């Protein structure tokens, strides 16, 4: 058994967690919208056609913001196709996913859905086939109160009050050759800057996200990020990061995804800081990690020109949930800089929530770590000082076997420590040192582990992969627990409330 120690001290503050770290993403892709969040014929549909069983789970996940409508989809999307009477809306070819888009859900319905699901929209505008002025029209439609062509059209379409969408993404993955009308960094930088000027003139309170490189494996990375920021540093509030991981037959590498994600964040922050220095700016550019997940990209198939085809419907295993937990820790450990993040995606498409058309809804294995970190990873993120065995990976060199993160919730007087034990053969005797908190009690140790790394939840066996809890014992310090090999752990402690 390995031995490890983790010091959590309330003075080692990373930052207050912005709840938008637990955002997600709904794209017009596959069955994310149609038979995902929207299915008028479903027995659980409300009067607008939204599935209430899905809304219930979205609420349970505690998702504060949802990016919409894409993704790759947005780069060929005309947002005006999705407004007005539904029977007049055009059916269009969606170039990105080679599907047929019925436009039965558009920005007005999505904003209504967000209200019902207890979340807020993060809008993306089309900077592929779209123009800066069309983006401005969309903002005017959504956020301008009344008395202009677009704002009055919104009112006529049944939304008297402005949608007040506060976060806007300026395009999507614009350096990706797969993107409809991809651009060079120079051309995108200029287009994004001119779009940003229009959007901020209309709504100065809006926060804007410029596209970082589509992924660290792009040849344009990280030079793309530098060039784009040199054009947009004054107008942008965030630069985006996207990264997906898959198991390419090497489990050590896959489990160490958290370390790669860490390096990615540091590099984009460094590129942004270089531009900060070069432009003599006082502003620190924030990062929006607005697509992250496990995604078996190489296994995807397409169904050409179908309507809402069942594509990108990855079924997640225990192993995927472990990797996923490690990534959540990395996001928390960088929450001073990564202020927002979006799990891509939320329903059906590489998602924690999976539906049957006309039928049931399922919590995938990744549902659980997301729910736990979203619930307990709030308040103040604290640095963890963890001694850990190392694991040798082919791709990333030596990485710690344990990935940890911690939060302190002053309001309810609780500390939570999240730990991935990625060691394949060794359990760990793990001691948590809460030195600065005075009297503390251990409340719960929740564990996800199991004999079959590839076990998945199915409609027939929906509770195969989920956390179980160990009794916390009498709970006085020092707190030593066993972390099983290949396990995701959430350790909850009660400490004195602030000011007591």
The residues of the shown chain that bind ligand AHR, judged by CB under 6 A, are 27, 70-72, 172-173, 291, 344-345
Q: Tell me how far, at minimum, the Cβ of 261 lies from ligand AHR, in Å.
A: 16
Angle (CA) 387 388 391, round 5° = 150
Q: How far is the CB of 217 from ligand AHR (least distance, A)?
A: 12
Marked catalytic residue, from 39, 140, 173, 207: 173
The catalytic position among 291, 356, 429, 460 is: 291
Is 474 designated active site?
A: no
Nearer to ligand AHR, 342 or 420 (CB): 342
CA–CA separation, 188 vs 282, rounded Å?
24
Q: Least Å distance between CB 295 and ligand AHR?
A: 7
Whose Cβ is closer to ligand AHR: residue 127's or residue 406's?
127
Q: Looking at beta carbons only, is 172 or 232 nearer to ligand AHR?
A: 172
Looking at beta carbons only, is 345 or 414 nearer to ligand AHR?
A: 345
DSSP codes joined into one string, 88-140: GPPPEEETTTTEEE---S-HHHHHHHHHHHT-EEEEEE--SS--HHHHHHHHH
CB contact burial 309-330 (16+ within 10 A = b; e otherwise): bebbbbebbbbbbbbbbbbbbb
CA dist 5 and 429 (Å) reads 8
Active site residue 223: no
Residues 6+ apart with CB under 8 A from 348: 30, 31, 32, 35, 36, 310, 313, 354, 355
**Residue with CB nearest ligand AHR?**
71
Of 173 and 203, which CB lies nearer to ligand AHR in the complex structure? Answer: 173
Residue 343 CB, nearest approach to ligand AHR (Å): 10
Are 386 and 428 in contact by the 8 Å Cβ rule? The answer is no
Between 229 and 344, name the residue whose CB sits nearer to ligand AHR: 344
Scanning the structure block, which residue is given the tokens 């140790």?
Answer: 445
Nearest distance in Å: CB 73, ligand AHR: 6
The DSSP-derived string for 214-271 is S-TTSTTTTHHHHHHHHHHTTT-SEEEEEEEE---S-HHHHHTHHHHHHHHHHHHHHH
Closest approach, Cβ 70 to ligand AHR, in A, equals 5
Two structure tokens written together for 407 = 């939060």
Catalytic residue numbers, as ranges: 173, 291
């Amino acid at each position: 058994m390995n031995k490890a120690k983790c010091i959590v001290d309330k003075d080692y503050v990373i930052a207050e967690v912005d709840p938008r770290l637990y955002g997600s993403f709904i794209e017009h892709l596959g069955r994310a919208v149609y038979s995902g969040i929207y299915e008028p014929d479903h027995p659980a549909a409300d009067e607008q056609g939204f599935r209430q069983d899905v809304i219930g789970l979205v609420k349970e996940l505690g998702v504060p913001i949802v990016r919409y409508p894409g993704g790759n989809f947005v780069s060929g999307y005309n947002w005006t196709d999705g407004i007005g009477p539904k029977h007049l809306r055009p059916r269009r070819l969606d170039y990105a996913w080679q599907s047929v888009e019925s436009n039965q859900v558009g920005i007005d319905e999505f904003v209504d859905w967000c209200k019902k699901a207890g979340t807020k929209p993060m809008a993306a505008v089309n900077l592929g086939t779209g123009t800066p002025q069309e983006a401005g029209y969309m903002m005017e439609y959504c956020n301008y109160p009344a008395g202009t062509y677009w704002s009055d059209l919104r009112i006529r379409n049944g939304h008297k009050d402005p949608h007040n969408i506060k976060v806007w993404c300026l395009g999507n993955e614009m350096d990706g050759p797969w993107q409809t009308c991809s651009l060079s960094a120079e051309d995108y930088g200029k287009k994004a800057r001119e779009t940003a000027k229009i959007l901020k003139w209309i709504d100065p309170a809006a926060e804007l996200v410029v596209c970082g490189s589509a992924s660290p494996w792009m040849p344009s990375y990280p030079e793309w990020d530098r060039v784009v920021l040199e054009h947009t540093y004054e107008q942008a509030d965030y630069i985006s990061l996207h990264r997906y991981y898959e198991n390419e037959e090497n489990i050590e590498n896959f489990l160490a995804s958290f370390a790669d994600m860490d390096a990615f964040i540091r590099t984009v922050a460094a590129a942004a800081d270089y531009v900060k220095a070069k432009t003599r700016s006082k502003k620190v550019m924030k990062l929006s990690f607005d697509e992250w997940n496990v995604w078996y990209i190489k296994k995807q198939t397409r169904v050409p020109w179908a309507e809402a085809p069942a594509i990108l419907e990855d079924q997640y295993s225990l192993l995927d949930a472990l990797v996923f937990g490690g990534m959540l820790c990395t996001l928390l450990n960088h929450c001073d800089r990564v202020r927002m993040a979006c799990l891509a995606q939320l329903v059906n498409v590489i998602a924690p929530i999976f539906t049957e058309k006309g039928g049931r809804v399922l919590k995938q294995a990744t549902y659980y770590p997301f729910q736990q970190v979203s619930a307990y990873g709030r308040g103040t993120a604290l640095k963890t000082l963890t001694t850990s065995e190392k694991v040798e990976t082919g791709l990333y060199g030596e990485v710690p076997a344990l990935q940890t993160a911690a939060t302190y919730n002053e309001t309810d007087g609780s500390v939570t420590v999240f730990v991935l034990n990625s060691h394949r053969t060794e359990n760990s005797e793990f001691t948590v040192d809460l030195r600065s908190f005075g009297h503390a009690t251990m409340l719960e140790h929740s564990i996800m582990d199991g004999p079959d790394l590839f076990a998945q939840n199915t409609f027939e066996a929906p509770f195969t992969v989920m956390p179980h809890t160990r009794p916390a014992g009498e709970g006085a310090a020092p707190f030593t627990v066993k972390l099983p090999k290949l396990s995701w752990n959430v350790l909850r402690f009660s400490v004195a409330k602030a000011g007591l």
